[in-house]
Amino acid sequence: MTVALSLAIVAGVLAIATALGLLLRSRTGRARVVTSRGSDATTVTDLADREAFGTAATLLQFSTPTCARCPATARQLDAVAASKSTTAGGPARVRRLEIDLAERPELARRFDVMQTPTVLLVDGTQTVRARFGGPPRQSELIAALDAVLTEEHP
């Protein structure tokens, strides 16, 4: 093998790796709308007591103890939930619920969690409406949440 061929192979591998990295990076934090309703992977009623969920929406965060981005994501989701939950004295319209996958690893397979944090946007009937792989992009999170809240009260 010549030096030129070796360099061409290395350059090709680097180009492919860079393209894949950029593709994955562009998809991280983007909302994916969930359309299939009624299946086990799109309902979350069995994950917590009814009181743990918001009356209109829940931001369900899957985390692990070793996740470096999970604490910042939790703060982001708490802030968004607080800004959208404007009921005086009543139950919260929007809440954040965190599930530790180290304690419940079977949920990773059920919800196809490939990275933490993974955030599911759940409506008032505990049906998954959108999912975010990685920390959600603020604008997409708010747009998806507003869509769910608008459907509840047009």
Average pLDDT over the chain reads 83
Number of Cβ within 10 Å of residue 117's Cβ equals 27
Which stretches within 3-137 are classed as H helix? 3-27, 70-84, 106-110
Strands 31-33 and 128-133: antiparallel
pLDDT digits (tens, 9 = 90+) for 31-84: 666 655 544 457 788 888 888 888 889 999 999 999 999 999 999 999 999 888
Q: How far apart are CA 131 and CA 146, in angstroms?
A: 14
**What is the SS3 assignment for 107?**
helix
Query: How confident is the model over 13-29, as a mean pLDDT?
Result: 71
Long-range contact set of residues 124-128: C-beta below 8 Å, sequence gap at least 24? 124/53, 124/54, 124/55, 124/56, 124/57, 124/152, 126/43, 126/44, 126/45, 126/53, 126/58, 127/37, 127/42, 127/43, 127/44, 128/34, 128/41, 128/42, 128/43, 128/44, 128/60
* pLDDT tens profile 119-135: 999 998 888 999 998 89
pLDDT over 80 at 139, yes or no: yes
Q: How confident is residue 16, by pLDDT bands cut at 50, 70 and 90? A: confident
Q: What was the pLDDT predicted at 96? A: 93
